Chain A
Amino acid sequence: GQQLNQSPQSMFIQEGEDVSMNCTSSSIFNTWLWYKQEPGEGPVLLIALYKAGELTSNGRLTAQFGITRKDSFLNISASIPSDVGIYFCAGQGGSEKLVFGKGTKLTVNP
């Protein structure tokens, strides 16, 4: 079945630093989404990408849909303490379901 490899698994950064994380797939996806999950809550949608090569921003967050359609990247600029959480990528291929990565846990030191 489809699997997503998300890296890194965890990141420890200083406030103000930029962050990059990525997601790769063994198969092609038609849609990529990025979510953030905080303890005790459901994932919150950050960015949705629908076309290969698409670059989309949401405030300090920027995500790109890879041109091979097998990868996606999320960048966070000038991190702040409230960026702490687990970031998940999710892809949608030929069916209705979303396939999620295992997450990148972000810790921001003030």
Chain B
Amino acid sequence: DAGVTQSPTHLIKTRGQHVTLRCSPISGHKSVSWYQQVLGQGPQFIFQYYEKEERGRGNFPDRFSARQFPNYSSELNVNALLLGDSALYLCASSKTGVRTYEQYFGPGTRLTVT
């Protein structure tokens, strides 16, 4: 079975621009979470979506937004990019049911803001 897929793999943007990152969860997984990982740090939680509804939001500014589609895929949008937004953006999916916290990560999208 395919794992979590993310696109694009790499992206270079200029300050002030907008970016959209995409994620497809593992088949059968209905929950998608987004994390930001800067170099040398662990991933930081941005959002979680389950059944197209936001279930959790981390401490990120309103420039960050996300949504989940009927097929459970998800998009992360970042507006007015800053240099500090440069990071690896990770998507993770999880099943519903008891063990919903076993999150499985995709390879990430490396965003560079210049």
Residues of chain B contacted by A45 (CB below 8 angstroms): 102-105
Give the A interface residue count (CB, 8 A).
Answer: 26
As a 0/1 sequence over residues 1 to 23 of chain A, the CB contacts with chain B under 8 angstroms (1 = contact) are 10010100000000000000000
Tell me, yes or no, whether B4 is within 8 Å of chain A by CB: yes
Once the chains are docked, how many angstroms separate the CA of A6 from the CA of B42?
Answer: 10
Residue pair A103, B99 in contact (C-beta under 8 Å): no
B15 at the interface (CB under 8 A from A): no
Which residues on the A side are within 8 Å of B43 (C-beta)? Answer: 43, 88, 98, 100
Task: Assess whether A43 is in contact with B56, with CB atoms less than 8 Å apart.
Answer: no
Do B105 and A44 touch across chains, with their CB atoms under 8 A apart? yes
A48-B101, A48-B102, A102-B41 are contacts. A1–B107 as well, Cβ < 8 Å?
A: no
A40 and B107: CB pair below 8 A? yes
A96 to B40, CA, bound (A): 24
Q: Which residues of B in the span 45-96 have a Cβ within 8 Å of any Cβ on A?
A: 45, 48, 50, 55-56, 58-59, 90, 92
Which residues of A from 72 to 104 have beta carbons under 8 Å from B? 88, 90, 92, 95-103
B48's partner among A4, A96, A99, A102 (CB-CB below 8 A) is A96
The answer, among A1, A31, A103, for a CB contact under 8 Å with B101, is: A31
Cβ A95 vs Cβ B56 within 8 A? yes
Interface membership of A106, Cβ < 8 A: no
> A42-B90, A43-B43 given as contacts; is B105 within 8 A of A98 (CB)?
no
Residues of A within 8 A of B55 (CB): 96
Best-buried of A1, A43, A44 by chain B (most CB within 10 Å):
A43
Q: Is the CB of A42 within 8 A of B102?
A: no
Residue of A nearest to B54 (CB): A96
- B59, A1: Cβ atoms closer than 8 Å: yes
